[in-house]
C-alpha cells in the first residue's frame, strides 16, 4: 500500500471484556446481571455497535502485523488474546507467527526447542524465565502455537539489560556478553510517548504506597523502555525481512502500543510499508449505546498513516 497518498486513521474495532470493578476509583456501581456484558463483547470503533467475533476477525484479515496491547493482570483479556490467535490461524494458516513481549531475545533457541518437542516443559520453564502468571495467561497461547506449528518470536530485550541501562544511564552499563542482543537501531521514542511515560511516572508518585520515581530517573527509565520497544520492533521487522509473506501477531502490554506509540511507532519507522492493526485494552464505564457495564475494554484502530 502507498501510504503517501492520504492521511488515514480508521477506527475499526473496539472490544470489551468485563471483570470485577472492585478497587477502581469512580467505577460505576455493579449492573444488574441482565445488563452485564458477556465475557467478551466486540464493538465496532467507528459506529460503537456490537459485531460478532467473525466480523472482528474479518476486519483484521488484510493486516500483516496485528498488535494486541493487553492488561497483564486481566484473565478475560488473555482469553480474548487466545481467541484472536486461533482466529488468525484459521485465516492465515502456516503464515502466522506469534510474537511475545513476555519472552526475551536470549531464550529464542529455548523456545524453538520446546516448540519442536526436543525440550521438556520442565526444562523450558527453568530456562526461559516465564512471567509469574505464565501458566494461566500465556501457556495456552504457547501450547496452541506448539500444536499448530506456529513459530514464536522471543523478541524483548533481556530484563537484566534494561535494568542495567536504566541504572547506568548509558549502554556502557550493559555487560559485553549481552551486546549481541542489543537492537541495531536504538533511540528515544516520540515526544508524545515520552510525555505519556513521564505522566505515568508522576501519577505513580501520587499513589499511596507506590514506588516513588525521582525526577532524575525518569529519562533513564524512559530510554530503557525505548530499548525494549526497539528490540521488539526489530525482531518483528527482521523476521518479516526474511519471511515476507508472514503475518505477525504481537502480544504486548498496552503501554507499549497504545496510541500507536512504543513498539508500534518503532516498527513503523523500520518498515513504513507494513499494514498494521492495533488492539488495545482501555478502561470504560457504562456504555449506554450498548446497554452494558464494561470497566475494561479493548480498542482497535488501523493504519498506516503519515504525518508522524
Interval 269-305: pLDDT, tens = 999 999 998 887 766 554 555 554 443 344 344 444 3
The three-state secondary structure class of 57 is helix
Q: Spell out where the chain has E strands.
A: 10-17, 40-44, 49-51, 65-70, 96-100, 152-153, 247-253, 276-283, 286-287, 292-293, 296-303
* Mean pLDDT, the chain, integer: 81
pTM of the model: 0.82
Determine what percent of the chain is predicted with pLDDT higher than 70: 74
Each residue of 275-305: b (16+ CB within 10 Å) or e? ebbbbbbbebeebeebebbbbbbbbbbbbbb
Please tell me the distance from the alpha carbon of residue 116 to that of residue 149, in angstroms, as a whole number: 8
Please tell me the distance from the alpha carbon of residue 290 to that of residue 31, in angstroms, as a whole number: 13
Strand partners, 297: 16, 282
What is the structure's pLDDT at 56? Answer: 81
List of residues 6+ apart from 201 with CB closer than 8 A: 213, 218, 221
Q: For Cα atoms 183, 242, 190, give the angle at the middle one, nearest 5 degrees.
A: 35
What is the structure's pLDDT at 52? Answer: 77
Q: For residue 83, is pLDDT > 50?
A: yes
What is the structure's pLDDT at 281? Answer: 74
What is the structure's pLDDT at 165? Answer: 96
Q: For residue 214, is pLDDT > 60?
A: yes
Strand partners, 301: 11, 278
Strand partners, 287: 292
Q: For Cα atoms 50, 40, 77, give the angle at the middle one, nearest 5 degrees.
A: 130
Average pLDDT for 89-93 = 97
What is the structure's pLDDT at 257? Answer: 93
Dihedral sign (CA 192, 78, 237, 304): negative
What is the structure's pLDDT at 9? Answer: 22
Average pLDDT for 100-124 = 98
Q: Which of these ranges, 8-17, 36-45, 112-121, 288-297, has the smallest mean pLDDT?
A: 8-17
* The dihedral formed by the CA atoms of 110, 111, 113 and 114, expressed in degrees to the nearest 10: 110
Q: Which of these ranges, 58-67, 148-157, 185-194, 263-272, has the smallest mean pLDDT?
A: 58-67
The more confident residue out of 193 and 41 is 193
Q: For residue 112, is pLDDT > 60?
A: yes
Please tell me the distance from the alpha carbon of residue 105 to that of residue 206, in angstroms, as a whole number: 34
The more confident residue out of 125 and 55 is 125
Question: Is the separation of the CB atoms in 265 and 190 below 8 Å?
Answer: yes
List of residues 6+ apart from 132 with CB closer than 8 A: none
For residue 116, what is its C-alpha cell? Answer: 519442536
Q: For residue 8, is pLDDT > 50?
A: no
What is the structure's pLDDT at 304? Answer: 41
Amino acid at each position: 500500500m502507498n501510504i503517501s497518498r492520504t492521511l488515514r486513521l480508521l477506527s475499526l474495532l473496539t472490544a470489551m471484556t468485563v471483570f470485577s470493578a472492585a478497587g477502581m476509583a469512580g467505577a460505576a456501581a455493579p449492573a444488574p446481571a441482565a445488563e452485564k456484558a458477556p465475557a467478551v463483547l466486540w464493538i465496532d470503533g467507528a459506529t460503537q455497535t456490537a459485531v460478532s467475533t467473525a466480523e472482528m476477525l474479518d476486519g483484521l484479515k488484510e493486516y500483516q502485523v496485528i498488535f494486541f496491547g493487553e492488561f497483564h493482570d486481566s484473565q478475560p483479556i488473555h482469553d480474548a488474546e487466545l481467541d484472536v490467535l486461533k482466529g488468525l490461524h484459521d485465516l492465515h494458516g502456516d503464515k502466522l507467527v506469534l510474537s511475545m513481549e513476555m519472552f526475551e531475545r536470549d531464550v529464542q533457541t529455548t523456545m524453538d526447542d520446546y516448540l519442536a518437542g526436543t525440550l521438556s516443559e520442565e526444562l523450558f520453564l527453568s530456562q526461559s524465565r516465564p512471567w509469574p502468571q505464565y501458566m494461566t495467561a500465556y501457556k495456552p497461547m504457547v501450547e496452541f502455537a506448539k500444536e499448530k506449528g506456529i513459530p514464536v518470536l522471543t523478541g524483548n530485550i533481556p530484563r537484566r539489560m534494561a535494568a542495567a541501562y536504566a541504572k547506568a544511564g548509558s549502554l556502557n552499563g550493559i555487560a559485553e556478553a549481552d551486546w549481541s542482543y542489543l537492537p541495531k537501531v536504538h533511540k528515544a521514542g516520540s515526544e508524545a510517548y515520552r510525555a505519556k511515560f513521564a505522566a505515568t511516572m508522576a501519577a505513580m508518585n501520587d499513589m499511596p504506597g507506590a514506588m516513588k520515581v525521582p525526577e532524575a530517573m525518569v529519562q533513564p527509565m524512559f530510554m530503557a523502555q525505548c530499548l525494549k520497544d526497539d528490540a521488539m520492533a526489530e525482531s518483528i521487522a527482521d523476521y518479516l525481512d526474511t519471511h515476507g509473506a508472514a503475518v505477525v501477531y504481537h502480544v504486548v502490554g498496552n503501554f507499549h502500543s497504545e496510541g500507536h506509540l512504543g513498539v508500534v511507532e518503532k516498527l513503523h519507522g523500520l518498515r513504513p510499508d507494513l499494514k498494521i492493526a492495533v488492539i488495545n485494552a482501555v478502561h470504560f464505564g457504562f456504555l449506554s449505546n450498548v446497554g452494558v457495564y464494561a470497566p475494561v475494554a479493548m480498542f482497535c484502530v488501523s493504519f498506516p498513516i503519515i504525518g508522524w
